[in-house]
Structure 1
Amino acid sequence: MPAADRGVLKGRVAVVTGGGRGIGRAIAVGMGHEGASVVVSSRTQGQLDAVVAEVDDAGGRGRAVVADASDEDDARAPVRAALADFGRIDVLVNNVGGSSGGNHDPFSGDAGAFMGTLRLNLISAFWTSQEALPHMREQGHGRIINIGSGASKRAAASVGYTAAKHGLVGLTKQLAMATAPHGITVNCLCPGWTNTSLVDFERLAAAKGISPAQAEADAHADSAQRRILAPEELAPMAVLLASEAGGGITGQVISVDGGYRL
């Protein structure tokens, strides 16, 4: 990126949850490239250390917080770290997500799997947002970006995951309404098939009774562009939503997915 285009987040402080790999890592590094100080959280110290180094190399300032987002106190910890280390929080990216494990079959599954997935994908985003919002209100400025999914808009995954990601859209819209008078925007950024470690074609193939090659081919066929996106392709939209230029965008569900299931 040309030097003239850099620095749109200079002086801003961002928190990216689930930032140790994949889309969270790409967004954290992208924001660092634009001059932000970035607190990244995940459960794995080694991954976080690598991302912090990338943020620093990109021109930002990185901090790592080891946290399990399914625990309420841990979910709030990255925001508290941003305030302690940098004195403010301007941007919150609720990127944590995935499956809690267990049996998700609606007929034979256990309720714990459903509730755990809901907590990881939806309730954790509320906890983290609730920790950040009073400080954003006091500043008169803030940006919250919830990372959704193709399952935020259609039936595309397990019952728990789809319910949680649909719920994230509702959370986004209602928070946008509640916080707009205070200079805060809230949006939901939805990827489709993206090349991260969470995409396991061996597992998907086994679940469908097909070959891994067919599972991957099916994923390509799900998008108009017939491809799986790189995590870095989500970062520019996240940067826009976090920037002053994105100030007029709120309550929106925005897809960067190659045309997933149009």
Structure 2
Amino acid sequence: MFCCSRNKSNSLSSRVNMSLKNKVAIVTGGSSGIGAAIAVAFTAEGAKVAIVARNETKLAEVAKECEKNGAEPLVIVADVSKEDDAQKIIETTLKKFGKLDILVNNAGIARSGSILDKDSLAKFDQVLATNLRSVVYLTHLAAPHIIETKGNIINMSSVAAIGVFAPNTFIYNTSKAALDHFTRCIALELAPKGVRVNNINPGPVKSDIVANTGADPAMQAMSWEMMKGKTALKRIGDPEEIADLAVFIASDKGRSITGSSIVSDNGTLLQ
């Protein structure tokens, strides 16, 4: 169930400065969690948003939340790991809005396993296809259009790119570490063209990522408690916190930030 809700104090009517007014943004993985929260926050800031995910039902719920901010998002049902779908995402957005200012590569999956497992390479290929290759391909497709608007790209990484917090997590951790370095490479390449590229590296954030690994409810609860215990502040982040950070980075308020990995982790890296 879509868990993001912007309270009245954060509604469109109460925001004096619409920092993303008339900007066009694509948000992948926009059907729940961080992606959904970013879509809602961006529309509250005046952006025209294309929300992308595989789950049409959940996307419809997020679209309703966006509409409360006075803007109807473009809903695109797609799997970012498929090249034809990636092309559809860019082409449909440009056809609808005529330009592209912001790409938020948020879609991601997690799979655990030991390097000794017989299916370790199959899991690795699956995760890398979504968490890294799709980002590279979407950036390849979107970059020429973002150069035209002097826009920016935000890649959703993780503190798992920086530290190892549990055994049997090499697949996800490796995908995010590679994503961080990809971001730095492309930030340097596109900086002369006026385009900024950044990572956000969240710690534990309330979402359905644990449920999507196939864990049963008891295992999910145990996982969240374990993650909470590994933060210095002893709390799990909310998707809206990451969304607010994304708004700042995507707007002109973040105009000097590029090639950065910005951590919001309740002190996970301090432990």
TM-score by length of 1: 0.90
TM-fit CA distance, 1:214: 5.2
1:22 matched to 2:40:
no
TM-fit CA distance, 1:204: 8.6
1:149 matched to 2:149:
no
Give the secondary-structure state (helix, strand or coil) at the position aligned to 1:128.
helix
Q: How many angstroms apart in 2 are the aligned matches of 1:220 and 1:128?
A: 33
- The total of aligned residue pairs comes to 255
**Which deviates the most, 83-92 or 3-12?**
3-12
Q: How many angstroms apart in 2 are the aligned matches of 1:212 and 1:84?
A: 41
1:221 to 204, 216, 229: 229
**1:86-109: CA deviation from partner (whole Å, max 9, x where unpaired):** 00110100001013x5x7320123
TM-fit CA distance, 1:57: 1.3
Q: How many angstroms apart in 1 are the aligned matches of 2:215 and 2:69?
A: 35
Structure-1 residue corresponding to 2:141: 131
Q: How many angstroms apart in 2 are the aligned matches of 1:49 and 1:183?
A: 34
Q: Which amino acid aligns with 1:203?
A: A
1:114 matched to 2:124:
yes
1:230 to 238, 245, 258: 238
Structure-2 residue corresponding to 1:170: 181
**1:53-85: CA deviation from partner (whole Å, max 9, x where unpaired):** 211211333010010111122123222221010
**1:122-167: CA deviation from partner (whole Å, max 9, x where unpaired):** 111111111110111223x111000001211112462221111000
TM-fit CA distance, 1:50: 1.4
Q: Which amino acid aligns with 2:258?
A: T
1:43 matched to 2:18:
no
Aligned 1:186-197 pairs, distance under 5 A: 186-197=197-208
Aligned 1:174-213 pairs, distance under 5 A: 174-200=185-211, 203=215
Is the 2:78–2:85 contact (alpha carbons within 8 Å) kept by the matching residues of 1? yes
Is the 1:204–1:215 contact (alpha carbons within 8 Å) kept by the matching residues of 2? no
Q: How many angstroms apart in 1 are the aligned matches of 2:245 and 2:191?
A: 20
Give the secondary-structure state (helix, strand or coil) at the position aligned to 1:65.
strand
Q: How many angstroms apart in 2 are the aligned matches of 1:76 and 1:251?
A: 25
Q: How many angstroms apart in 1 are the aligned matches of 2:266 and 2:210?
A: 16
TM-fit CA distance, 1:32: 0.5
Aligned in 2, Cα 1:243/1:252: closer, same or farther, shift over 3 Å? same
Q: Percent identity?
A: 36
Aligned in 2, Cα 1:7/1:60: closer, same or farther, shift over 3 Å? farther
Is the 1:6–1:33 contact (alpha carbons within 8 Å) kept by the matching residues of 2? no
What is the RMSD of the two structures over their aligned residues, measured on CA atoms?
2.1
Q: How many angstroms apart in 2 are the aligned matches of 1:4 and 1:33?
A: 8
**Which deviates the most, 72-81 or 145-154?**
72-81
TM-score by length of 2: 0.88
Q: Which runs of 5+ in 2 are unaligned?
A: 1-9
Q: How many angstroms apart in 2 are the aligned matches of 1:21 and 1:117?
A: 19
Is the 1:34–1:59 contact (alpha carbons within 8 Å) kept by the matching residues of 2? no
Q: How many angstroms apart in 2 are the aligned matches of 1:15 and 1:148?
A: 17
Q: Which runs of 5+ in 1 are unaligned?
A: none
